[in-house]
Amino acid sequence: MANSLEGRVALITGSGGGMGRSHAVLMAERGADIIVHDIKEDGANETAEMVRSFGRTASELIADSRDIPTFTAKIAEAEAAHGKIDILINNAGVSGNKLPVEGVDEAAFDLMFDVQVKGAFFATQAVLPGMKARKFGRIIMISSIYAMGGSFFASHYSGAKAALSGFTKAWAREFAAWKITVNAVAPGYIGTEMVLAVPEKILNEVIIPAIPAGRLGKVEEIARCVTFLASDDAGFITGSTLTANGGQYMA
């Protein structure tokens, strides 16, 4: 089967809902066992049940990714329980809340970078020894169109996502000798709860007309990008960013 993940174990941060849940469900459908990370236990439990409905093994990893000692200790426990972690999806993130520079206080700045940048760095550090020992790994960052083109009123969000792009390139070079690939997926406007909460007038008169495809993306379309990069079919792709945005941004 194309893009099969049979026999793989994937850790997906922030997968108790939203796009992270979509990644988990599709990867389970393709044969992977899933470690469902989230700060919210209810959401993680729901995703895990969806994974199990495909006959796959799921475990819940409940932790605040800003609490690095606890977060990484629980990753180690999950890896021991599953026997390995083949795939890491650094998906956990927070919204930029459309704040202008003057509106970003230190707490908002720290939250953005602690969750998206620091969390991704130390999750990767935690799984790396096992991947190196097995000489196999897939690390995938969930970036954003804003990492490449910037955004009005979300500079701290754009900066954090751009940092993930920097990690992607640096780690792709550093880890290649161990057959570990590192790539990013940078979605455009996707029909998530956050985007659909935008006033209908702005959505229909400003956002969608700026997308050449003429529509919002679907979470399932982003999950397919992630699943492809996690598969053996993408074994010669590393250091790349796959941007699914309907033509809104063309590098």
Residue 234 is classified by DSSP as G
Lowest mean pLDDT among 10-24, 86-100, 157-171, 174-188: 86-100
Q: Does the CA dihedral 203-207-212-216 come out positive or negative?
A: negative
Per-residue model confidence (pLDDT) at position 84: 98
Rounded distance between C-alpha atoms, residue 68 and residue 75, angstroms: 10
Confidence of residue 54 (pLDDT cuts 50, 70, 90): very high
Mean pLDDT of the region 188-194: 87
Three-state secondary structure call for residue 92 = coil
Mean pLDDT of the region 96-114: 92
Could you please report the per-residue DSSP string of 138-158? EEEEE--THHHH--TT-HHHH
Name residue 109's amino acid: F
Mean pLDDT of the region 1-12: 87
Q: Which of 3-12, 66-75, 94-103 has the highest mean pLDDT?
A: 66-75
Q: Which residues are paired to 10 by β-bridges?
A: 34, 87
Mean pLDDT of the region 160-187: 97
Rounded distance between C-alpha atoms, residue 150 and residue 164, angstroms: 14
Per-residue model confidence (pLDDT) at position 3: 66
Rounded distance between C-alpha atoms, residue 185 and residue 57, angstroms: 25
Per-residue model confidence (pLDDT) at position 195: 84
| Phi, psi torsion values for 92, nearest 5 degrees | -60, 135
CA neighbor of 17 nearest in space, from 54, 43, 39: 43
pLDDT over 90 (residue 149): no
| Two structure tokens written together for 14 | 């922030």
Percent of the chain, pLDDT > 90?
86
Confidence of residue 230 (pLDDT cuts 50, 70, 90): very high
Per-residue model confidence (pLDDT) at position 2: 55
| Two structure tokens written together for 56 | 């796959």
Q: Which residues are paired to 9 by β-bridges?
A: 33
pLDDT over 80 (residue 67): yes
Q: Is 231 exposed, middle or buried (0-12, 13-18, 19+ CB in 10 A)?
A: buried
Confidence of residue 131 (pLDDT cuts 50, 70, 90): very high
Rounded distance between C-alpha atoms, residue 22 and residue 9, angstroms: 16
CB 38 within 8 A of CB 45: no
Mean pLDDT of the region 36-62: 98
* Architecture of the 9-241 domain: 3-Layer(aba) Sandwich (3.40)
Per-residue model confidence (pLDDT) at position 46: 98
Per-residue model confidence (pLDDT) at position 226: 98
Q: Where are the domains of the chain?
A: 9-241
Instruction: Return the higher-pLDDT residue of 3 and 24.
Output: 24
Mean pLDDT of the region 26-38: 98
Q: Does the CA dihedral 1-84-234-240 come out positive or negative?
A: positive
Confidence of residue 209 (pLDDT cuts 50, 70, 90): very high
Per-residue model confidence (pLDDT) at position 193: 80
Q: Quick one: residue 145, left, alpha or beta (phi over 0 = left, psi -120 to 50 = alpha)? A: alpha
Rounded distance between C-alpha atoms, residue 211 and residue 138, angstroms: 30
Name the average pLDDT for the chain.
Answer: 95
Catalytic residues: 157
